[in-house]
Each structure stands twice: as structure tokens, then as C-alpha cells.
Structure 1
Amino acid sequence: MTEPRTRQTANSLYLPPCTIQTSFALPAKRLLLVLGGRAPATSWLQQMGRNLPVWAIDHGLDACRAASIVPQRLIGDGDSAHPDSWDWAKKQGVPIDKFQREKDDTDTQLALRTASEAAHGQATLLLTGAFGGRFDHAYSTIFSASRAQVPVVLADEKEACCFLHAGESLRITCKQHPKAFSLLPLTDAVTGVTLQGAHWPLADATLTQAYPNAISNELASADRTLSLSIQGGILAVYCCWQE
């Protein structure tokens, strides 16, 4: 069943397995970017795409086509999506931002910048097709998303990842119990980490990028709610429902 649009509030984001509530504003304009990593399940993409405008990022166009979703925009250099999908997008009249293959930025970095500029910095971006595939692409996507000019969440039916910056907090309420969640420092150190609702809680802890050991934690609370805050640095909060 599709979640009503009204459940998306100024500081919350609904995903099928959980709801993320943040201490910082999540702009009401939401945009789903379909990247070229592991394709989300067709049913998941169709569910999310019913309530959100969709952009395809190169190979992500193949997933959109398979789900019969006509994206509102196509961004990429055309080196990974099937040629038939590009022809399909053109026939559907999809606006295309096509870039040279020889460039400094990845297609995802270009999409993050384009989406932020198009929304004048007032959008929340949901990236799917961000997991799986090549490690170097995933690495670039994680760091680029964490430093984007707008809030970004990575998600599909198996995994999700969101980001906290210095002085921020969040609350994750899970409808489906995750197999594990991990805290991944994206700066040299993340300080003042306080974690509640976990099997292994934290109080004013420091996590380091050089030795990331806050891995494979579990929820402890009966209501399946996790609360987390940090004082310094940038932290990725990763949840896994399926391996």
C-alpha cells in the first residue's frame, strides 16, 4: 500500500521499512533520483515513484523503463544505459542533460548539483540504485551525498543510508526490524555521539574514520525506535534489511 503524501512532513521522510525524523528541516519538495548501481525492486520503485517526481541518472534509466516509469529528466553521459532505453526516453519526450564521457564529475555528482540548483537548494533528494555495483562508484556517491547542498537519503528495499552533520540528531522508527545498522564516520572523527534504543548504546562517544568499529549494531527497544545525535563531524547512518 502506498503511504499517503501527507505523511511526509517538514522534518520526516517515509520509507517502506521505516520513518526518519530529523532535527533539521527536510524541504517539502522531494525528488527521487534513480542511479546506475543495483536496481531497486520494480515494486519498490513503482511504490516510491507514485508519489515522487523521478529523475533517471544514465543506467538508472533501464530501471525506470523496466518499471514503466517515465522520468521527468534524464542526466548522464550515455555510457551505461541500454541504447534502446535512450531511444525510449527520447520518444517519451524526456528532457535530457547529456554530458561528455570525458569529464571530471561522475553522473551522480552532476545530478546532485543539477537537482540542488533546479530546486534552489530547497529539496530533499532520495537516491536509489546507489548500492551494489562497483565499490568506487558507491564510495564516491556516499561522500558526495554527505556533502551535497541539500539533504540526501540513499535507499532501496534492502538498504538505507542517511547523514548527520555537527549538532544534528535523528530518530528512526522501523516498521520492519533491520538485520543490522552501522555508524560510519565520514570525517577524521565524529564526536559527541549519543545513541539510544540500540543493543550497544553510546554516550558522548568519539568514532574515528581510521578505525570504524560501530558496525552491525542492533535495535534493542520494543518499539523499534533508534535515536542518535552528534556534536562534531559527519556521520553516515546505515541500515540493512536484506543482504
Structure 2
Amino acid sequence: MNKIHIVAGGPEQLLPELYRSDNDVYIGVDEGTKFLYNRNITPNAAFGDFDSISEVELSTIINNQKVQTFTFDREKDMTDLELAVRWAIKQRPELIILYGVTGGRLDHELINIQMLTLGLDHGIEMKIIDIQNEIILLNPGTYTVKPDDELFYISFLPFSDLVKGITLTGFRYPLLDTDLRFGSTLCISNELVTKKGTYSFDDGILMMVRSKD
């Protein structure tokens, strides 16, 4: 299992284009299950209390033997998305991608971004993708990044109180061994100026956001 794609019920117009790949697993979370059906993608699994879809739509999901359905009470200690993410982590894929988790209620969007730490905790790459952005959290290390004609801007945000020793090479605004404190805008809206850039840091948790113009 290479990738698990999880589609939640955020604003549908913010979803990027989705394509079915036979080697990947697709999971719908509540209304996100309907979004997959709207794109002619039958999910491998569906999670939720399904309070955001009609009884007819829910019946279609439950009665499809190709879809493993996990239903939960509305009152619970985890969101439907977290339940789906924790299930996905147990499958040990190389990558988990979350869609439909931004652009709606701000409290949900903020906690959904924080949920990327579950990937860090379990050594699994996780990212959020919407029509405008790609978001990933990183542990200390050295990384390479290549230009993307669509995701032109690259920003680095501290996700811990302090990110120590960040170095950027190949960027319009390079840095050398700089500490980045939570709330700093120092590394917002950078750009690559070479065919390959590198970034590294020594301590903390770093968020990288790639965005369209």
C-alpha cells in the first residue's frame, strides 16, 4: 500500500482534482464520501456519523459491499477525520494525503493541520492538499525541494515554540543557521531561484506550505 487518500467534508469547491489509482486506497469521511462518488471514485472505506448526508446517500454507501463502512455516534471524543487518520496510520502506508480539511470552520481547519503531527509521531509522511496549497510538517533534518510551476510560493512556519538553525539555499531569500520563533513571519512567501533548493534545521517542528499565485 503506497498511498492513502482521505477526503473529508470541507468545502467541495476547494478540492483539487482527484483521480482513481488502483494501487492507492481512498477513504471518505462523512460528506467527503459523497464527494468521492461525485468524482466516480468508489472509496475503499468510509468513516463517520454521516450526519451531513441524506439517508438515501448513506444507504448507498452502506449497501455497497466494496466499501468498508465505519459508523460512529455523533457524540464522541474524536472527530470522524481523526478516527479515519488513526485507522490509516495502522495500515502503514508510505504517504497519507488529506483533502477537504481546509477552508470551512476555522476550528476544524486548525485542528486538522495539527493532526499532521500524528504522521510525525508514527514515521509516516502526511500532507494536506487543497486547490490552492500543499502543507506538510517536518522533523529536523536536511531536505531538497524542486520548483513547481503551480505551487510557486514556498513558506516555512515554526510549528513548535522554536525552530533552531534553519538554513535555506537556492531560494530568493536565503538563510544561514537562523532560529525561527513561533509567530515569526520571516520565512513567509519565499521562492526558488535554482533547479533544486535545500532547507535544513536542527531542532523543533517546521511547517512547509507551497501555494499557488
Q: What TM-score do the two structures reach when normalised by structure 1?
A: 0.77
Moved more, 207-216 or 131-140: 207-216
Which residue is 1:71 aligned to? 43
Alignment correspondent of 1:159: 133
- Deviations for 1:104-153, whole angstroms, at most 9, x for unmatched residues? 21122111111112x1x454211122221111111101111123322201
Q: Post-superposition shift, 1:177?
A: 4.4
In the alignment, does 2:79 pair up with 1:106? Answer: yes
Q: Residues 217 and 91 from structure 1, CA distance in 2 versus in 1: closer, same or farther, beyond 3 angstroms?
A: same
Change (3 A) 1:115 1:196: same
User: Would the aligned equivalents of 2:3 and 2:93 in 1 still touch at CA under 8 Å?
Assistant: no
> What is the DSSP-based 3-state SS (H/G/I as helix, E as strand, rest coil) of the residue aligned with 2:191?
coil
Give % identity: 27
Report the counterpart of residue 220 of structure 1 in structure 2.
193
SS, match of residue 57 in structure 2 = helix
- Partner residue of 2:52? 80
Q: Aligned residue for 1:59?
A: 31
Q: Distance in 2 between matches of 1:77 and 1:204?
A: 47
Residues 33 and 55 in structure 1, CA contact (< 8 A), matched pair in contact too: yes
- 4+ residue segments displaced more than 4 Å: 40-43, 48-51
State the AA in 1 paired with 2:184: Y
- AA in 1 matched with 2:12: A
2: CA distance, partners of 1:58 / 1:39: 13
Q: Tell me the secondary structure at the aligned position of residue 102 of structure 1.
A: coil
Task: Spell out, residue by residue over 1:30-62, the C-alpha distance to the aligned partner (whole angstroms, 9 max, x if none).
Answer: 11111222336777212x645522111112112
Conserved? CA contact 1:126–1:155, under 8 Å = yes
Distance 1:87 1:107 in 2: 18
User: Does residue 204 of the first structure (1) align with residue 177 of the second (2)?
Assistant: yes
Whole-angstrom distance in 2 between the partners of 1:216 and 1:125: 25
1:170-185 equivalence runs, <5 A: 170-185=143-158
Name structure 2 gaps, 5 residues minimum: none
Match for residue 92 of structure 1 among 64, 71, 77: 64
